[in-house]
Structures are given as C-alpha cells and as structure tokens.
C-alpha cells in the first residue's frame, strides 16, 4: 500500500463535524488544519452548514476535488458506511479516530472494516487512535493546538500504539530538542500495523531513526517484525509494554492486543541487534544519540572530561554500570596532555580517566583535552561534562568542541544542565549534530545507543 497520502496530503476531509460542539474531536481537527496547515480542508456533516466561512458538505462525494486523506470521527456503528463512501469517492487514505471496536469487544465490526479496505488496497490508520502528526504538514490529533507541545522538524519517526504515550514522547522530545519527521498513533491497528509503518519510514529520506512503542502483536507477527527491523537499514528503537502479567492484561483491555511473552520478544530484539528502551528516558536518550550518529559505532571504550571531580566520579559509575570500559591513561599519555594545559591548572588537574580539569579550567583546556582524547586509539567515544557556570568558559564552547568531532569523526556526547540561561551553549552542540543530555545518566544512555553490540 502507498502510505504517502497519509503523511503528505494536499487535501483533507474531516467527517463528523458537530454543528453545536466546537470541542468535538472532528471540529478540533478541522479547525487546526484549516488555520495552521497547508492542505486544503473540507468538512463533512449530513446537515451541511458553514464553519469559519467554509461550506460544510453533506457527503464526501460532493467535495469538488479528489481527497488525499479523510479523517473519520463518527460513532463506531457508522464508520463502515462512511469508509465505504470514501472508497467510492476515490479518497486515497483515511485516519479513523472513532473508538468502540475490538477494544470494546466489537471485533467483528473491526474485521468488517479491515476486510473492506483490504479488498481495494485502501490504507487507513486506526480505529481508536489519534492518527498522524507531521510537522508543518498535517495534524489529525483531536487535541487543541494550545495544549500540544510539538517537537521541531527533525529525523526521528515515532510509531505508537498508544496515543497518550505518543503525546508524552513528543513532549519529552521537544524538551530535549529532538526533532521528528512524523509521529503516528496506530490504535487498534486493524489494517496498517507496525511493520507497514516500519517499511514506510525505512524508505523515507527524511527519517534517520525509527522509534516504536509496542503493546502487542498478532500470533507470529513479532518474529517477522524483528527480522524486518534488522533489515530496514536504519536504527530502530523499541519500547514494549506488557512486560509483566498485569501489564499484559492492561494491554489487552486498551487496544485488544496480545502482549505475548515479553522475555521471548526481548531476547529476539537482543539477538537481532535491535535496541530496546526499558522506559521513556531510555527511549528519548537512545533516539537523540542515534539521530546524531545513525551510523557511528563504538566498542564502548569511553573517555570522560569534566570540570568537576564529583561529576566525573558519577559518570564513571554510570558508565561501568552500563557496560562501558573507562580505560586508564598511561603516564606518557597523561604527561602529553598535561603539557597542553593552561599554566594555572597544569599542577592541579587530575589526568586520569575521568579527566578533572577543575573549576579553574579555561575554555582552552577543554578544547585541547578533547582534541587530545580524540587522537587516542584506546578511546572511541568522549563524554564531556560541561558546567556552564565555570568562569573560564564561554557560551561558544559547545560549537568549538563540536568542530573537533567534525574534524576527527570520534563521537562526542555532552552533558549540560538544560535551562534557558545555557541555551546558547547547548545550541552550539545541537547545530553541529552533537547530542546534549540534561543528566549524566541520559548522556551515558546516548553513548550506549551507538555501541557495536546494540545497533540495528
């Protein structure tokens, strides 16, 4: 099936508008797309009328152009008829927001819907979903724009069975400055499933990383998914619900999915080299690391440079707990670095690994230490712990250190407290595709995403 009309519609029909309730999901979707997005938007209601000076059509067949995407938000018992009308009118694709299908025990109604679409190769998302968000292109979420936190345009695609989890991830991505290419809430996935979207984003030139929140699969589907993820050619990150018996029961009641045997699925991910996120913090961190370094791979030998001994010690613990090695530096290597440092810290800097340049370090010291570590064969990834309040560094240090990565190719991961005061420093890294974490633990997770034992 061709999924492009779902993500790049030139025309959009919203079916199920209310004449009396502006907060109805169809009205919210109609209004935000009419006022904020480029697709030509049409409203459908059997009673007709007008909304925002737009004529509301009584039937999809009366729209004066071919429709790329229909968003259906009517009662479940009306959906099959509406979808049939869309197919007859030549609509290219649909998002079915409506609930009340398999998750409510009405599996037969859902299967009829899917069979109708399969017969004519008609792609639809849902039912029981939020649908699709593509920055600057389309937003079928029935959430008011003023309440949504939207990530910027980027290169991570998110596929989620849960709309709520998807919105949460989008908030966290926005907080961390991670951009997305598209986000899709698939709900009951009656027709289009994770594998379909995996294939779509594997071929999408705007997507570098594919992230999935998965609740369950049909019988035998999990193995096929893992194989396709391995073969897709892009990094894939999976977060799985239903890891416990109670979680599996919650999954079944949410979208009528089979949670399956989590241990078997997790072992299959590990066997095929698919990165598994155990929680949303790992999901966000892994995606940021892979977005910046989709092809870079390390062996887990990490070098730590800090302006604080305490931060360095915490980083060592986090690295070792995550399976990294933190190689000791030989005396000749230490002396080689010491010679390059400023006179005021040469005698007081602790030049082990981690390197503690102390709070008296100048910007020059961070630069030469990073350059020096970038030449060491025993170090294949650098963790930079930057405390922006040190008096000897400027807001340009992020950009300066990023240039070293651009010259040497050795991956850098930075930790900088994420507050508005330090945004210019953070942007210096971000604009140069160096990941910046808001905690030491998150920085180590970013580095974990590019180790050789975990890539797709």
At 437, is the secondary structure helix, strand, or coil?
Answer: strand
User: Domains of the chain (ranges plus CATH)?
Assistant: 1-128 (3.40.50.720), 149-292 (3.40.50.261), 296-448 (3.40.50.261)
Backbone angles phi, psi at 306, to 5 degrees: -140, 160
Q: In DSSP terms, which residues pair with 70 in a beta bridge?
A: 13, 94
Tell me the C-alpha distance between 128 and 101, whole Å: 8
The predicted pLDDT at position 247 comes to 46
User: Residue 456: its pLDDT value, please?
Assistant: 38
Q: Which two tokens stand for residue 403?
A: 């240039």
Residue 220: predicted pLDDT: 87
pLDDT at 19: 87
Residue ranges, the chain, pLDDT below 70: 243-260, 453-456
The closest of 397, 376, 312, 301 to 350, measured between CA atoms, is 312
Q: How far apart are CA 220 and CA 17, in angstroms?
A: 39
Burial label for 404, CB within 10 Å (0-12, 13-18, 19+), is buried
Render pLDDT for 288-297 as a digit per residue (tens, 0 to 9).
Answer: 999 999 999 9
Q: How much is the pLDDT for 245? A: 60
Distance CA 158, CA 168 (A): 12
Task: State the pLDDT at residue 418.
Answer: 87
pTM of the model: 0.92
């Amino acid at each position: 099936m061709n999924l492009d009309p779902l993500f790049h519609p030139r025309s959009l029909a919203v079916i199920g508008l209310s004449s009396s309730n502006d907060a109805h999901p169809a009205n919210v979707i109609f209004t935000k797309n009419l006022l904020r997005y480029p697709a030509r938007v049409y409203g459908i209601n059997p009673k007709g009328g007008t909304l925002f000076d737009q004529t509301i059509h009584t039937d999809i067949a009366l729209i004066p152009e071919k429709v790329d995407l229909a968003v259906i938000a009517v009662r479940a018992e009306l959906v099959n008829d509406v979808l049939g009308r869309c197919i007859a009118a030549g609509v290219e694709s649909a998002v079915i927001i409506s609930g009340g299908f398999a998750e409510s025990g009405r599996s037969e109604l859902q299967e009829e819907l899917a069979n109708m679409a399969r017969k004519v190769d008609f792609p639809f998302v849902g039912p029981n979903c939020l649908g699709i968000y593509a920055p600057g292109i389309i937003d079928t979420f029935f959430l008011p724009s003023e309440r949504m936190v939207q990530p910027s345009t980027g290169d991570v695609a998110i596929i989620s069975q849960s709309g709520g989890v998807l919105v949460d991830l989008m908030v966290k991505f926005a907080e961390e400055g991670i951009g997305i290419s598209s986000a899709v809430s698939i709900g009951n996935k009656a027709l289009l499933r994770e594998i379909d979207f995996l294939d779509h984003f594997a071929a999408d030139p705007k997507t570098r990383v594919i992230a999935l929140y998965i609740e369950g699969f049909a019988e035998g589907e999990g193995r096929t998914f893992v194989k396709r993820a391995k073969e897709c050619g892009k990094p894939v990150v999976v977060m799985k619900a239903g890891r416990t018996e109670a979680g599996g029961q919650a999954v079944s009641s949410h979208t009528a999915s089979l949670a399956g045997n989590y241990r078997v699925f997790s072992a299959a991910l590990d066997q095929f080299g698919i990165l598994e996120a155990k929680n949303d913090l790992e999901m966000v961190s892994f995606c940021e690391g892979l977005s910046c370094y989709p092809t870079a791979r390390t062996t887990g030998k990490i070098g730590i440079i800090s302006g604080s001994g305490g931060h360095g010690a915490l980083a060592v613990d986090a690295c070792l707990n995550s399976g990294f090695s933190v190689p000791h530096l030989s005396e000749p290597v230490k002396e080689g670095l010491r010679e390059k440092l400023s006179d005021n810290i040469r005698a007081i800097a602790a030049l082990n690994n981690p390197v503690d340049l102390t709070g008296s370090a100048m910007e020059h010291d961070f630069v030469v230490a990073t350059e020096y570590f970038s030449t060491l064969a025993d170090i294949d990834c650098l963790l930079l712990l930057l405390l922006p309040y040190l008096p000897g560094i400027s807001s340009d240090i992020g950009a300066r250190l990023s240039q070293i990565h651009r010259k040497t190719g050795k991956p850098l991961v930075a930790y900088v407290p994420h507050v508005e005061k330090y945004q210019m420093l953070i942007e210096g890294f971000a604009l140069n595709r160096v990941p910046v974490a808001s905690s030491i633990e998150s920085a180590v997770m970013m580095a974990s995403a590019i180790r050789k034992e975990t890539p797709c």
